[in-house]
Chain A
Amino acid sequence: MEWMTLSPEEWTAVRLSLKVAVVATLVSLPFGIAIAMALARGRFWGHTLLNGLVLMPLILPPVVTGYLLLILFGRKGPIGAFLADTFGIVFSFRWTGAALACGVMGFPLLVRAIRLSIEAVDTRLEEAAGTLGANRAWVFATVTLPLMLPGIIAGMILCFAKAMGEFGATITFVSNIPGETQTLPSAIYTFTQVPGGDAGAMRLTLVSIAISMLALTASEVMARLANRRLDVE
């Protein structure tokens, strides 16, 4: 079983991938809920435009998304320069950039799942909460949010899985720097490009499969728990 042991470099790639995926999922979550809420409930000018913008990364070739990120969030890009100067947040060739790319690619999946669950929430329950004295924030926290929890969980799992597998946009935006931006898929790709890299590629592939299975199982279990809480007959 010697060949099953991961080298320190491979461990680094696995850890980096997990970090990138977790950060990408958690940071996009509040934005995802807010935008899903706006799309599900809001009536405003530009509704269709916003919807299209959110779904865009799902349809565009990942390389195009990565290139657009490079233009917008690069050191000299309009948004990238602003964020670097004002908050000191730098994306280009950093793991944060990888997280941004993964987050953007996972965002449509996150928003869609949450939006569907919001649309399934009975607004009459929110009215009832209002007559009991809860203001809008409390209604959201105590009624809407718990009722859309299954959708939030599903969206987070999808976003996480997408982030773990993201390759095209990441490598275009932040390249493939070991220890900084080399995520699992990038590492596997690198192994397949060098002679004698088969064993490493296989090891990381197995890790990839294991993580995906775990995420899927976790989502199943959580969805079942959430449904039991709602006592669906």
Chain B
Amino acid sequence: MTLSLDIRHRLGDFRLDARFETGGGLVALFGRSGAGKTSLVNIIAGLIRPDEGRVGIDDAVLVDTSRGVFVPRHKRRIGYVFQEGRLFPHLTVRQNLVYGRWFTPQGSRCDDSLDKVVELLGIGGLLERRPGRLSGGEKQRVAIGRALLADPRLLLMDEPLASLDEARKAEILPYIERLRDQARVPIVYVSHSIAEVARLATTIVLLSEGKVAAVGPAAEVMHRLDLFPLTGRAEAGAIIEAEVVGHDERFGLTELRSRAGVWRLPRLDADVGARMRLRVRARDVMIAKSAPSDLSALNVLPGVVADIAAREGPIVEVRLDCGGEALVARVTRYSAERLGLAPGVPVYALIKSVALDRRSLSGPLQGSVGGEASDA
């Protein structure tokens, strides 16, 4: 799937001027509140008619103002999961789920898909209830199911977790991962949470004040130092793709291997061979010039300094190249000078195992992942 968008739109004082093109998987529209994320998905869904521009999915043109093309929302086959669910209160969960089917062409719908989606989202026990009696997390899962069953060619999710507490978020995130990996429907996911984006995104579109600041594979956009002011300094960091290689039962540790080296984390409920994504925040990474001994931090990864962000203030961000994988460290300018950090200098990155943000750990659908240990 290719989603291409090039639009200009005015909403009061706010100007949206965005242009990007992305492939399949999960595209995260990421940016601060008021960056224009929701307006952008509303334009894709057909809820807003842009002043000027073009929107297309593969060969299908949805909007082209220069040719007067505007496909109405009900003909776009774009599923939309809203922030507030928007379930129909007068219908049961089952009727909500099959609502879109009435309008799907007979040929393209398969009858076992209801069971599949119900199973995928774990909502089997709710079918005869009415939305008024569901919890926030249940409502959102039903809303996802309802959008999926309309057989969309693209699924839009506008901060589907924003109205939920941490426990409910942890409950739903694995389902969204499953969706991304199993349902084979491309997803555009709007979020201002870096933890969600780091965990879910294949591609990131970074929005700032109505403009596209960056587009690219998740890991690349996440460790670009120049974007840190936009992604949020305190939470910014790198994304590491790693594979589970073993468990240390005696100490309750899990060992993962990435291109940067071996990582040890408190025991994860994941099988050997499972692929995981770690978010390593810049503020959790220390830098040493020589390989330290007698150290409590378990993760010591050799690398070289690739880049240092030039900016004012007492703190600088340093991007490291560890075996072809990027890590970012946030250190004081004082330390950077004292260690003589400059591009090409060999260093060691030190990361405390317990500092790794468990909430952003993605992987197989299992209870303990993203569960108890919060870093806050």
Chain A positions within 8 Å of B, measured between CB atoms, are 122, 124-125, 127-135, 138-139, 142-143, 146-147, 229-233
**A138-B103, A229-B90, A231-B89 known; A131-B132 Cβ under 8 A:** no
* Complex interface bits, B123-160 against A, C-beta within 8 A gives 1, otherwise 0: 00000001111000000000000110010000000000
Chain B positions within 8 Å of A, measured between CB atoms, are 45-47, 72-80, 82, 84, 86, 88-90, 99-100, 102-104, 130-133, 146-147, 150
- A125 CA / B131 CA spacing, docked (Å): 13
Residues of A within 8 A of B76 (CB): 131
Residues of A within 8 A of B103 (CB): 132-135, 138
- CB contacts between A and B, total, < 8 Å: 76
**A124-B86, A147-B90 known; A230-B100 Cβ under 8 A:** no
Residues of A within 8 A of B104 (CB): 133
Chain B, residue nearest A139 (CB): B74
Give, as a whole number of angstroms, the nearest-CB distance from A4 to chain B: 44
Give, as a whole number of angstroms, the nearest-CB distance from B270 to chain A: 36
Q: Which 4 A-B pairs have the closest CB atoms?
A: A133-B103, A231-B132, A132-B100, A131-B80
Residue from B90, B99, B131, B132 in contact with A132 in the complex, judged by beta carbons closer than 8 Å: B99
| Pairwise interchain contact A128-B74, C-beta atoms closer than 8 A | no
| Pairwise interchain contact A146-B90, C-beta atoms closer than 8 A | yes
**A135-B72, A138-B103 known; A129-B47 Cβ under 8 A:** no
Residue from A124, A130, A147, A233 in contact with B132 in the complex, judged by beta carbons closer than 8 Å: A233
Residue from B46, B82, B102, B133 in contact with A128 in the complex, judged by beta carbons closer than 8 Å: B82
Residues of A within 8 A of B45 (CB): 131
Chain A, residue nearest B78 (CB): A131
| Pairwise interchain contact A125-B72, C-beta atoms closer than 8 A | no
| Pairwise interchain contact A127-B47, C-beta atoms closer than 8 A | yes
Residues of B within 8 A of A128 (CB): 80, 82, 86, 88
- A147 CA / B90 CA spacing, docked (Å): 7
- A213 CA / B348 CA spacing, docked (Å): 86
- A143 CA / B73 CA spacing, docked (Å): 16
Residue from A124, A129, A135, A231 in contact with B133 in the complex, judged by beta carbons closer than 8 Å: A231
- A232 CA / B133 CA spacing, docked (Å): 9
Give, as a whole number of angstroms, the nearest-CB distance from B44 to chain A: 10
- A13 CA / B238 CA spacing, docked (Å): 85
- A206 CA / B147 CA spacing, docked (Å): 56
Give, as a whole number of angstroms, the nearest-CB distance from A61 to chain B: 41
Give, as a whole number of angstroms, the nearest-CB distance from B142 to chain A: 12
- A134 CA / B84 CA spacing, docked (Å): 20
Residues of A within 8 A of B72 (CB): 130, 135
| Pairwise interchain contact B132-A133, C-beta atoms closer than 8 A | no
**A135-B74, A138-B103, A233-B132 known; A129-B88 Cβ under 8 A:** yes
Chain B, residue nearest A128 (CB): B86
Chain A, residue nearest B77 (CB): A133
